[in-house]
Structure 1
Amino acid sequence: MLVNILCLSLKTENDYVLRIYLRCYVLFLVAALFNAARLIGCESHELKEALSARRIQTEEGNIVEKFTMQQAIDARDALAKFIYASLFDWLVEQINNLLEVGKQHTGWSISILDIYGFESFKKNSFEQFCINYANERLQQHFNRHIFKLEQEEYELDGIDGVKVDFADNQECLDLFEKKPIGLLSLLDEDLHSPDANDATLANKLKQNLNGMACFKGDKGRVFGVRHFAGEVLYDTNDFLKKNQDSLNPELIELLSSCNGQLPQLFAIKMLNQTLEPATSLDSPNQSVSAKFKGKLFKLMQRLEKTKPHFICCIKPNRKQLPGMYEEDLVSQQLRCSGVLEAVRMSRSGYPTRMTHQEFADRYGFLLLETNESQDPLSISVAVLKQFNMLPGMYQIGYTKLYLRIGLVSSILSSRVF
């Protein structure tokens, strides 16, 4: 009706073009609404009502409050995110159920975690904030297994004088997770403040966190975090709204009554979660960041119980062309992922290691004089001495031999020539 009134008020030739544009735009919106309702399994007018208004219960009865344009957009986005996240979880659950049969027979399982890596754009919002926090926690897991456990192994096996140096990111994690004054705590705290907005949030973060090494205050609503991969500037615009991201009860009710089987399943799961204790990681009363942190910690607990293997994929160029390597882009990714530090550690340490028995079995035959009564350690030491290996090229631990890069090939080449 509104479009018809606007069209009637347009008289000139230019207005005629605008009138056609308005009609096409409305037809596009109607088609989008119809298609969305058809996919969900409800009537288009039901979806329209749920996205444009909400019911408020009072002592006198229910009052229907019409949404503003921004509120309607927020409701639409919340519904889309809910369906997308629920569908993703459902797909993963179906795949895991199919793979569970093999685990029941063997007792073994393989878990694959695929992550994109740190994100830094011209404008970074709440989404990049969460992604980079997760990557920071996963980077520490990588550091622990590549660097910290390496140092522990040297110490436990009696190897002295080897120090594994690496950039620890614990300070950055403290910036995110510290209570009661940390990025996540302060962000959640502002959700309960009626006067809070994006600007006051930015000021609050700067006032409380400027003393922390990994935090950087900036102009206006912007603040910076010195991540392991480098500094990222975040704009707090819409941080509070995105952190709340609540789904209207009318939308849950609509999904639970629709004809689509999956939307019904998603809605029932959400309704069941409202009945669970408030400590549940999936409680709808929690903020998005609190849920995200809870699920991330659950993931880390699972990862700590596994034997990890890391595969680092490098994007060779920005144009996605074969056979082309942009040196600055590749170098940046190697630095961000910790690969360069891992290589540096390998060159300065003892990357090749074998038990005394393994070394004796593999290279004991090279001895010119053998004594069958010798123990594996004695055989291993005799091999090293026979080929005049310098003491700095190896170290002898309680259980293993620790060898520099190239030492084994030197032994074999000495034998050949």
Structure 2
Amino acid sequence: MYKHSRVVQLAHGERSYHIFYQLCAGAPSALRDKLKLTGASEYNFLNQSNSLVIHNVDDAKKFHMLVKALNTAGISERDQEHAFQMVAAVLWLGNITFEAIGNGNNVEVVQCEAVINAASLMGCSANDLMLALSTREIQAGKDKVVKSLTMQQAIDTRDAMAKFIYANLFGWIVDKINRSLAMGKEKTGRSINILDIYGFESFEKNSFEQFCINYANERLQQHCYRHLFKLEQEEYELDGIDWTKVDFQDNQECLDLFEKKPIGIISLLDEESNFDKATDLAFANKLKQHLKANPCYKGDREEFGVRHYAGEVIYDTSDFLNKNRDTVHPDTIQLLSSSSEDLLKLFASSFANQSKKTATSIHIEISDFQKQTVATKFKDVLFKLMQQLESTAPHFICCIKPNNKQVPGMYNNDLVFEQLRSYSLLEVVRISRSGYPTRMTHQEFCIRYGVLLPEDHERKDPLSMSVSILRQFDILPEMYQVGYTKLYFRAGQISVLEDVRKQVLQGTLEVQKCYSGPHARRHFHELKGVVIILQSFVRGEIARRQYKDSLESKQKDANKENDEQLVAVLQIQSAIRCWLAQRHLNQLQKSKKLIQDRPKPAKKTTEVKNSSICFRINIFKNLVACCVKPVLAGLACRNFTFCCRRPRKAGFGG
């Protein structure tokens, strides 16, 4: 929940949202060129007040811190760039101006740099943007008529578009951060939530924005009253303890003034907002006519007063109706839907999905949804928030404003005391002092502190045991009360029992240590012996397997070496046989030549053959003695048997 109007309208001395100033001051040059950024003083949405710069605040440095935080939250650089693009589009929309045409009742957009830059950043044409801001398409029967807007209507349309883009951008970033935080975590149903909401506002001139803000504060204040006063005291009474009721200021009458139907302020405001010709003056008169009997209401001609819990506030009804009708026109949604920017398409589709109830066409859906005014939507969101808060165990932090001048070091006693009174903080202190902040059921108390009693008390019922514990440790009767279902203690009393319980548990641990130590050591030694035996078996088995694997490996290596030597022997045999055959051939050829050259002796053929055979046998024996026997001796030591073939008998023709 944030202040939508702050995007387009600023009070004196007030700044808009920090991101506008930080983006203008700290964006890198490449991003500045892409977004066509200039200084913050050049934008109409920012230069309405004299607070463009805050003392001792470096917006450029803050921008870099923001980018770092977005990176930490898991938002990608691409998504960050799209977000900054939407922020720049909002700034340029604020610089779009209008001029009257014709008789002055109609306007057209002034063509300027702002139109071109805004259209470029929004992903649409400049002409489409100008038409969406200066005209409105109306359904007249079966035909559609284009109507030019007045100056105020055009300005309201421009501002509504800017607020719509920024509001959806805000929700989109929050959703991104929530998804990032929830990633990888188991859903337990338990969470810690922080609600930070704007405080009560009262200025010289209070308008519709202050009306909504103060209404939200009234609702939250009642939630605070309910938990701090009403529910607290109701529990005391229902549980039958002695209690003096503390009176407090209930703001139900003020809430009825806002919410009651059909004559509450919001109902009457919505009723008037549905009439196109209704005026703010007529609205003020209607309030005075119907609400004058309510003690929290004070009526006047063009304003009305409400007596809030924090004091009376006078609201100026000027522009109340227009601001309550501050809704996005279907033409604007149509423009965003046709954009080339995915983010704007997402915003438009989300808006259309919210409006899907009974109608079927997009135009009818959006029109039906527009019937809900700003005040009604605000009330619905607030009720959903209150439903969530009711399911929690709340803790409240109240911020006290020291002065109205926003100056450090200044303390206004009257202002501070008035805030203490209006927030009923004095009553809160009173109920805290006399109340019982610590409470437990009898069963819970016995489970936690029953160990402090002797054994003979253990069979008693929880209530009797609880009383016995309190008496045994001399807890003063005025420091606690015994209810039907719970025990109630004043602040600090339960710490006495906690200290004793801590001592008992510490002593128990010492006793357990003395008993458990020897037992654990004995068990350790037994376990150690078993482990050693098991380790010996395992190590033996591992050693045997390793030895077996080693033998098999050596046998494989030996077989491989023998095979290699056998191949070598065969090769040597082959070479020797080849050499012998060649030498024998040469010898035969020489013998033949000698025989042919000399006279033939008178010997027989058989004698020549026998001589040749003997010669060959002698040569072979010599070769075997020199070359083959050493190899055979090496093989013999490896248990190998080797057989040499005798050379074939050959004659001279051989």
> Residue 299 in 1 paired to residue 385 in 2?
yes
Greater mean deviation of Cα atoms: 91-100 or 302-311? 91-100
Shift of 1:174: 0.9
- Which SS does the other structure have where 2:456 is aligned? coil
Over residues 206-235 of structure 1, what are the superposed CA-to-partner deviations in whole Å (9 max), with x where a residue is unaligned? 1100001211113x2111111122111111
Q: What's the counterpart of residue 248 of structure 1? A: 329
User: Which of 177, 181, 192 is the matching residue for 1:95?
Assistant: 177
Where does the alignment leave 5 or more consecutive residues of structure 2 unmatched? 1-97, 100-109, 360-364, 458-463, 499-654
Q: What's the counterpart of residue 175 of structure 1? A: 257
Q: What's the counterpart of residue 372 of structure 2? A: 286
Task: Indicate the structure whose relative CO is greater, using CA pairs within 8 Å and at least 6 residues apart.
Answer: 1
- Which SS does the other structure have where 2:222 is aligned? helix
Q: How far apart, in 2, do the equivalents of 1:182 and 1:361 lie? A: 52
Shift of 1:129: 0.9
Q: What's the counterpart of residue 398 of structure 2? A: 312
Q: How far apart, in 1, do the equivalents of 2:446 and 2:141 lie? A: 83
CA contact (8 A) 1:126 1:239 kept: yes
Over residues 343-370 of structure 1, what are the superposed CA-to-partner deviations in whole Å (9 max), with x where a residue is unaligned? 12112333444556649967997xxxx7
- Which SS does the other structure have where 2:305 is aligned? strand
TM-score computed with the length of structure 2 as normaliser: 0.52
CA contact (8 A) 1:136 1:228 kept: yes
Q: How far apart, in 1, do the equivalents of 2:447 and 2:178 lie? A: 44
Letter in 2 for 1:249: P
CA contact (8 A) 1:159 1:396 kept: yes
Q: Percent identity?
A: 59
Shift of 1:326: 3.5
Letter in 1 for 2:263: I
Q: How far apart, in 1, do the equivalents of 2:260 and 2:320 lie? A: 19
Shift of 1:339: 2.9
Q: What's the counterpart of residue 565 of structure 2? A: none
- Which SS does the other structure have where 1:106 is aligned? coil
CA contact (8 A) 1:350 1:404 kept: yes
> Residue 127 in 1 paired to residue 209 in 2?
yes
Q: How far apart, in 2, do the equivalents of 1:206 and 1:301 lie? A: 32
Over residues 272-311 of structure 1, what are the superposed CA-to-partner deviations in whole Å (9 max), with x where a residue is unaligned? 334324899x933211111111111111112112222222
- Which SS does the other structure have where 1:334 is aligned? helix
CA contact (8 A) 2:218 2:251 kept: yes
CA contact (8 A) 1:165 1:345 kept: no
Where does the alignment leave 5 or more consecutive residues of structure 1 unmatched? 1-24, 413-417
Q: What's the counterpart of residue 341 of structure 1? A: 427
Letter in 2 for 1:222: E
> Residue 276 in 1 paired to residue 370 in 2?
no
Letter in 1 for 2:456: S
Shift of 1:393: 4.7
CA contact (8 A) 1:270 1:284 kept: no
Q: How far apart, in 1, do the equivalents of 2:143 and 2:317 lie? A: 38
User: Which of 90, 105, 109 is the matching residue for 2:191?
Assistant: 109
Q: Mark the CA change 1:128 to 1:29 in structure 2 (over 3 Å): closer, same or farther.
A: farther
Q: Mark the CA change 1:116 to 1:340 in structure 2 (over 3 Å): closer, same or farther.
A: farther
Shift of 1:321: 5.8
Q: How far apart, in 2, do the equivalents of 1:379 and 1:212 lie? A: 55
* Pairs aligned (count): 379
Shift of 1:155: 2.0
- Taking the TM superposition and a 5 Å limit, the aligned residue runs for 1:191-230 are 191-218=273-300, 220-230=301-311
CA contact (8 A) 1:120 1:232 kept: yes
Q: What's the counterpart of residue 230 of structure 2? A: 148
Q: Mark the CA change 1:314 to 1:103 in structure 2 (over 3 Å): closer, same or farther.
A: farther
Q: How far apart, in 2, do the equivalents of 1:74 and 1:234 lie? A: 21
- Which SS does the other structure have where 2:180 is aligned? helix
Q: Mark the CA change 1:277 to 1:313 in structure 2 (over 3 Å): closer, same or farther.
A: farther
CA contact (8 A) 2:449 2:497 kept: no
Shift of 1:78: 1.2
Q: How far apart, in 2, do the equivalents of 1:330 and 1:296 lie? A: 28
CA contact (8 A) 1:352 1:405 kept: yes
CA contact (8 A) 1:158 1:397 kept: yes
CA contact (8 A) 1:186 1:205 kept: yes
- Which SS does the other structure have where 1:283 is aligned? helix
CA contact (8 A) 2:445 2:466 kept: no
CA contact (8 A) 1:360 1:377 kept: no
Q: What's the counterpart of residue 568 of structure 2? A: none
Letter in 1 for 2:311: G
- Which SS does the other structure have where 2:370 is aligned? coil
CA RMSD of aligned residues (A): 3.4
> Residue 235 in 1 paired to residue 316 in 2?
yes
Q: How far apart, in 1, do the equivalents of 2:310 and 2:111 lie? A: 42
Q: What's the counterpart of residue 373 of structure 1? A: 456
TM-score computed with the length of structure 1 as normaliser: 0.79
CA contact (8 A) 2:208 2:323 kept: yes
CA contact (8 A) 1:181 1:208 kept: yes
Q: Mark the CA change 1:135 to 1:127 in structure 2 (over 3 Å): closer, same or farther.
A: same
- Which SS does the other structure have where 2:323 is aligned? helix
Q: What's the counterpart of residue 589 of structure 2? A: none
Q: Mark the CA change 1:355 to 1:138 in structure 2 (over 3 Å): closer, same or farther.
A: same
Q: Mark the CA change 1:327 to 1:38 in structure 2 (over 3 Å): closer, same or farther.
A: farther
Shift of 1:33: 2.8
Q: Mark the CA change 1:150 to 1:191 in structure 2 (over 3 Å): closer, same or farther.
A: same
CA contact (8 A) 2:450 2:465 kept: no
CA contact (8 A) 1:273 1:284 kept: no
Letter in 2 for 1:379: S
- Which SS does the other structure have where 1:395 is aligned? strand
